[in-house]
Structure 1
Amino acid sequence: MGRKGKQRPRRVRKAKERSNRAVWSVIPAGHRPARHIIRWLRSIQELAEFQLARKDLKANIWRFANAVAQCPGFDPASMTVMPLWQRLQERFGFPSKSISNYFRRLRDWGVLAVVATGRTAEFTPKSSGRTDNEAAIYVLLEKVEEEGVEKSSVPVPNRAVNNPPHARAGEESKLNIDAATPHASLKRAAQRREINHQLLNRKAPLWNPNETTSAKTKRERREAERLASLELQFRSFPLQRISTPHVAAICRPFFRAGWTIRDILHAIDWRPNTDARYHHDGANGVENTGAWLKFRLGKWVRKDGGFYRSPSQKQAAENAQRKAEQRAADERRTRDRAERAAYTPPALGWRERFALLQEAKGA
């Protein structure tokens, strides 16, 4: 009988740790070994997870990826690398905990795969005759391009070219910029992919548009503001051009002032305290969507720094006033009923009292 419980996978033999069979057995679907180490580094920059990471984490992972690419033990035939933790600690100054964290992130992002795990000398089989520690083997991965896309074999010029002299009679030689349209920044493209992915998978409102984002802890409040901003992007198409953290940063003061998603959507289209609606909705002709959103919401900030009451706050105040007036009227009616119920009529009628009064005057 075998041992009970979950066992760690057995390490690939030293002689076959870089073979095609060992390498391809760990490559996930939709990936392949990187064609070049430079292409591998560029593929990391194109990842949405990398572009949307914090600025400090992004810089550290990029430095770590370059350190892994410079480690000895790189095999260009199998695109495998054998990074030594001791070298990463001594030469590049990475703590052991950070090295483990960065390796885990690169594996989760699909740019690294473990071919052979590391092993210390005490766990090395005695029959092998080796008494040294064995480092882990990783394969550098890149995503497989989609097939069926028609590609032109003509190279696209990437710089300005001059017409040859006397190419056309009677025309001067002019500078023609024959280059492809520059792509948007990688970060903006990653933000758009992330937003589209979340919005396409939306099956229910990410946040109730009539509720505020108040929460007990800071983490819960931040998560509520993120979900509310994402739902705001779903309901307002122009806001999908910028990232969800950008929308949350602009709307955060309004969220914490008790505004709801419907209030912000109203403030984007309407001027405060008037029935005037903006003629432009921001779908076309707006280059800086963040500045446009900040300008529209800024109209709802008073000169003293306070906020005008949002539509939901106005409605809540009107409802509270109406309930207070109704409660006061009910109290008056109850008091009048109590006074009428406590009134005791006299024993004699008014005629008897008048007769007695006349008799008293005649006497």
Structure 2
Amino acid sequence: MRRAPSQQAFLRAVKEHPDALALKCHAYRNLTDVAAKLAGWADWTTMTTRPTEQRIADDLDLALSTVKRWIRWLRERGFLGVVENGTTVRFRKGTRCGLDDDGLGNRAAVWVLSVPAVELVGHDLRTDKTTTEPPSCTSRRGVQESPTHTREERSSTRRRNRISTTKEVAATPGTRKHALQAAQKIHDESTTLRRLSPWYIRHLTRIFVAAGWTAADVLHALDHQPDGTAWTYTWTSRDQIRNVPGWVRFRLSAWLDEHGRPLLGKSQRLAAAAAQLRAEQADMRERLQAMHAGRVGGPVEPPPRLSRAEALARPPVAEPGGSSRPGESYRAARAALDEKRLQREAERLRWLAS
């Protein structure tokens, strides 16, 4: 690998790496966010950066283990070179004298932004046995813990990225897998709920998803009340919310009835309104067909559409059992229209005369 010419070149190389393009959407986002944070702290001349892993985790609202994993990913593929390992001073019990104190105190690790060299493109750096890079606290051996009890076996590493909202087939509605997929969508869409895990979001929204709510319905309920008015915000940043689960429970409690059952969500209300409109249209169509059938003695086809001029020139239809002359209601309506027309004409003439 070689030193990156600029922060933009470093980020572009990370985003275009084949292994990065094969990641899931949320994993790719976390990787690029960590890389951008490292590039933002880099020196423009030497391309060295030294933000602590805890600082990156706090700024991005990520777990410390997640930041360690993506920094190790960058190191294994030649995007980070170790300039100085981080140091931690250990003190002897009861004294202020450090066991391994070198006079420098606690120091953050220093990395240099780099890109894989041209001759190393396509070469798997993870299998290269000739590298002399010293181990650091971000290696896998540093974060694994040994068994604490006798005859206890080391627990297997949990499979990563087991939530998929794009590649896997949608789960059956009402199942735990379906609720987890909905929680993952909420986690990806809401910047406030990204501080919670998808499993915790599924726990908070389980009764609403079981009632037929979608992820969009939950997000709409967090911003709007059941009567359609928007919630008012007393904070200027999402970082001011100290108890995110309590905030979610309070907002969603407004969408529960007196028995604790969820109300209809936004999509369910729209679907019910559309079904009611279709039913009214079907009922009106049946009444129109019945009216025509009573007039002529049988079902007939609906009359063709006429233009305005043809409709005015067409003679009025006689009432059943009556004469062919217009009825009283027709003559009254026609007289009212003529009177309004004469009034508008008189007003126009007065306006022209003035």
Relative to the length of structure 1, the TM-score reads 0.38
Relative to the length of structure 2, the TM-score reads 0.39
| Relative contact order higher in (CA < 8 Å, ≥ 6 apart) | 1
Higher Cα radius of gyration = 1
